[in-house]
Structure 1
Amino acid sequence: MSARGSQVRHQLFLERGLSDRLALLARKPGVTKSTILAEALETWLTRQGVNELQQRFGPRLDGLARVLARIERNSQIEIEILALLVRYLLASVPPVAEGDDVARAQGRERFEWFTAKVVEAFREGRGSFGSGTGS
């Protein structure tokens, strides 16, 4: 190997067919065999670095993807349960009569109790069924 400026000379062997293809590419104006090989090597080394990143962080990212998929699935189940409950309640519970102030007051009290329980559960980090955050 000999050095010229910041470049280092290398001697290498290529298969005949590959050498012929390299020579054909190097016939273009402003293109040399050295620049083609240097760019190809740079691309290959960069790709190797990407593979190392994939090997290092891939399992963690895959695990996070599985957790997110489980959260999404649980959220869809919760939304479906809520939708079925609302549909059932709207279909089976008659509306409160216009002048029934007692029933309206009861409804407000029940709603306040409900919202207080939701806030309490989230503040304490527990779910309705006592299993963590409910998911």
Structure 2
Amino acid sequence: MTAKKVRHQLFLGPEVSARLETLAAKPGMNKSAILSDAVTAWLERRASNELDAHFGKRLDRLSVQLNRMERDQLILLESLALFIRLTLLRDAHLPEADAATRALARARYEGFVAQVGRIIATGQSSLNPTSSREGE
């Protein structure tokens, strides 16, 4: 049992009509199947193009913004890490920046990193001491 088909009357230009006649003359081809496939492909392509046109620019803009934020975040974190290292080295309270001073600064830096890890793990914030992890 074949699916019910709807008859359409359409007009094609002479060049398109000639090309359709040539293609339909090949064995196993007919005009209805060719036009049905062509219209289906056009509709599917148009739908995807409409989605791209509708959301593509917005997604591209968001991608650029996220890349910029990631870059800025890396710069900020590297700057903060360098500042902390230099501050801990300066505040080691030893007269010269010798091996002992560097070791003390390294220990203080590692302690700082461990403390940041603990704060993040508990969901607390140094900027807002009353904040905690969601759901607690």
Q: Which runs of 5+ in 1 are unaligned?
A: 127-135
| Cα 1:80/1:25, change in 2 over 3 Å | farther
- State the identity %: 43
Q: 1:28 to 1:125 in 2, by over 3 A?
A: farther
Structure 1 residues 107 and 125: alpha-carbon distance in aligned structure 2, compared to 1, 3 A threshold: closer
TM-score by structure 2 length?
A: 0.60
Paired letter, 1:124: S
- In the TM superposition, residue 65 of structure 1 has moved relative to its aligned partner by 0.8
Q: What do residues 26-63 of structure 1 show as CA deviations (whole Å, max 9, x unaligned)?
A: 11110111111111100111112112212332243123
TM-score when scaled to structure 1? 0.60
Report how far residue 77 of structure 1 moved.
3.3
Q: Which residue of 2 aligns with 1:20?
A: 18
Task: Write the distance in 1 (CA, Å) between the matches of 2:27 and 2:77.
Answer: 64
Which residue number corresponds to residue 62 of structure 2? 64
Matched residue, 2:71: 73
Counterpart secondary structure, 1:58: helix
| 1:7 to partner: Cα distance | 1.1
C-alpha spacing 1:22/1:125, structure 2 compared with 1 (3 Å)? farther
RMSD after superposition: 3.7
Distance in 2 (CA, whole Å) between partners of 1:42 and 1:81 is 56
Aligned equivalent of 2:9, options 2, 8, 11: 11
Unaligned runs of 5+ in 2: 87-95, 128-136
Aligned residue type for 2:52 = Q
- Alpha-carbon distance change, 110 to 20 in structure 1, aligned in 2, over 3 angstroms: same
